[in-house]
Amino acid sequence: MSTATQQSSPPSPRERLALLLGRASRAIARRLGRSGGTAIPGLVAGALAPSLIERLALQPGHGVATVTGTNGKTTTTHLLAAILRAGGVDPLTNPSGSNLERGLIAAYSGSVDGRGLVPRADARAGVFEVDEAALARLMPRLRPRLAVFLNLFRDQLDRYGEVDSVAEGWARALEEVQTPPTLVLNADDPSIAQLAEHARGARVVTFGVDDDAVALTHADHASDARFCGCGSRFTYEAIYMGHVGRWHCPTCGRTRPVPDVSARRIELREDGSTVHVAIGHGAEQQTFQFELPLAGLYSAYNALAAAAAAYALGLDVVTIASALAEAGPAFGRQERFEVAGRRVRLLLAKNPAGLNEVLRVLTVAAPPLTVLAMLNDGVQDGQDVSWIYDADLEMLAGTGATIVCSGDRADDLALRFSLAGCPPVSVIPQTERALDAALARTPPGGRLDVVATYTAMMDVRSALARRAGVGAYWEASK
């Protein structure tokens, strides 16, 4: 992996003070037991010294990579960091999914020495997941050498606004950033693949799936990029999820690029998958396979994105394959816990496309299926819960699934499941009591799948971690 040539200078006294105060506030927040203190130090430090983002971005000798998109940011960042680590580069990341400016500064203030410098910075690379709506603001300040774009789905319209404005913000950021970064793009999502039109001569590495066996037999409802920029409707040769697939425009000729990193065959199993990959083209092409310990096609996409980014950064396929096979789940994303003699799997789902993929993972598993479904309506979950009608909960009808609904909006979720033809066996808003009920419904030795929105996931995860004897997440994420 080559070294980026950027000048870095030590932080100013004011910035150093800001970092120290940020660290102190983190220690206080943790003592108070508040949310692991992942964002508070960033808020404190960022308010004192707004230039910290620029200072952070300049330090890693291998430069900065950003990961953005609606779904899969945390897992892809986690996997890319694991590959870099296997390749001898120490990643500097924001591991707990705190992906706004304050989360980045918190990652920084948590890793600096007393002089305000990142130790051994020459051997490090920044790998940061960035909120899709914050990327346009952060890109000129982070000056990434590589930017990964995963997918763009409708998500929390009350918070992010309309899907189009997010895509427009990305395009503008790419046009305006001083040095255009290498782009790692999902060839199968037309709104991502079209970002190549804003590469401004920088290298573009695409990833995608070329396996009809994992295509959907009929299209999802949660499909957001059906129309080309020219106004025509896209035509699909195969749809893998939502509007993601092998697409082309019948009018203007825009077409899915042939992926540089292509999954030729994906064998999906209950607990993971085997992915057969071809990298590069023609005589240069290399093929390899990796065993991914994360279930679902969406996880395979995240792994492909991480592999494509690592390939673009110059890592070799052996390192990539072994690191992917050994990387465990990211926080709250298919984490597993042993509780009361049951195997509990925790799956985050926060928008229709994400929930559809999680439902597909559930239906791959052998019956009996026991599900604790949790819907909260906090700011981080989206206050508007209508999105559950865009997801195809009908997938669980006829599976005989035993469903317990929980969360602040347990009643909305129960209504949705009943309309989908799979009414819940109980509706219990409180997390601990719902978990008790769901565990009691799970046969001993069997599996309970917990599907939860963001803040519900945080709640239930701490309950699961305590019952399983695992540490709190700021300890687990180290």
Among 85, 141, 198, 221, binds other proteins (CB under 8 A): 221
Q: Are 71 and 353 in contact (CB under 8 A)?
A: yes
Min dist. Cβ of residue 164 to other proteins (A): 5
Among 18, 185, 249, 348, binds Zn ion (CB under 5 A): 249
DSSP letter for each residue of 364-403? HSPSP-EEEEE---STTT-S-GGGGGTS-GGGGTTTT-EE
Stretch that binds other proteins, among 91-99, 151-159, 184-192, 363-371 (CB under 8 A): 151-159
DSSP letter for each residue of 204-248? EEEEEE--GGGS-SS--S-----B-TTSPBPEEEEEEETTEEEEE
Residue 461 CB coordination number (10 Å): 23
Over its C-alpha atoms, the chain yields an Rg (Å, rounded) of 22
Among 28, 397, 415, 476, binds other proteins (CB under 8 A): 415
What's the N-to-C CA distance of the chain in angstroms? 25
| 252 is a site residue for other proteins (CB under 8 A) | no
Site string for other proteins, 8-47 (x = CB under 8 A): ----------------------------------------
Stretch that binds other proteins, among 113-121, 416-424, 444-452, 466-474 (CB under 8 A): 416-424
Closest CB to Zn ion among residues 39, 244: 244
| 193 is a site residue for Zn ion (CB under 5 A) | no
| 350 is a site residue for other proteins (CB under 8 A) | no
Q: What is the dihedral of CA 323, 70, 373, 271, to 10 degrees?
A: -20
Among 212, 270, 384, 475, binds other proteins (CB under 8 A): 384
Can you tell me the distance from the alpha carbon of 395 to that of 415, in angstroms, rounded to the nearest whole number? 15
* Kind plus residue range of the DSSP H or E element containing 436: helix 431-441
Closest CB to Zn ion among residues 137, 226: 226
Identify what 114 binds: Zn ion, other proteins, none; CB under 5 to 8 Å per kind: none
Identify what 167 binds: Zn ion, other proteins, none; CB under 5 to 8 Å per kind: none
Q: Are 325 and 290 in contact (CB under 8 A)?
A: yes
333: DSSP letter: S
Among 195, 348, 427, 464, binds other proteins (CB under 8 A): 427
Min dist. Cβ of residue 231 to Zn ion (A): 7
Identify what 416 binds: Zn ion, other proteins, none; CB under 5 to 8 Å per kind: other proteins
# residues contacting other proteins (CB under 8 A): 34
Give residues with Cβ within 8 angstroms of 210, minimum separation 6. Answer: 246, 259, 262, 263, 264
Identify what 333 binds: Zn ion, other proteins, none; CB under 5 to 8 Å per kind: none
Identify what 231 binds: other proteins, Zn ion, none; CB under 5 to 8 Å per kind: other proteins
Classify each residue of 44-56 as buried b or exposed e, where b means 16 or more C-beta atoms within 10 Å of its C-beta: bbbebbeebbebb
Give residues with Cβ within 8 angstroms of 434, minimum separation 6. Answer: 372, 374, 404, 405, 406, 410, 426, 428
255: DSSP letter: B
Q: Are 383 and 377 in contact (CB under 8 A)?
A: yes
Closest CB to Zn ion among residues 214, 249: 249
| 411 is a site residue for other proteins (CB under 8 A) | yes
Min dist. Cβ of residue 423 to other proteins (A): 7
Identify what 78 binds: Zn ion, other proteins, none; CB under 5 to 8 Å per kind: none
For residue 368, whether the previous peptide bond is cis, meaning omega lies within 30 degrees of 0, is yes
User: Which residues contact Zn ion (rule: CB under 5 A)?
Assistant: 228, 230, 232, 249, 251-252, 254
User: Which residues contact other proteins (rule: CB under 8 A)?
Assistant: 154, 157-158, 161-164, 221, 226-227, 231, 352, 377, 383-390, 408-412, 414-416, 418-420, 423, 427
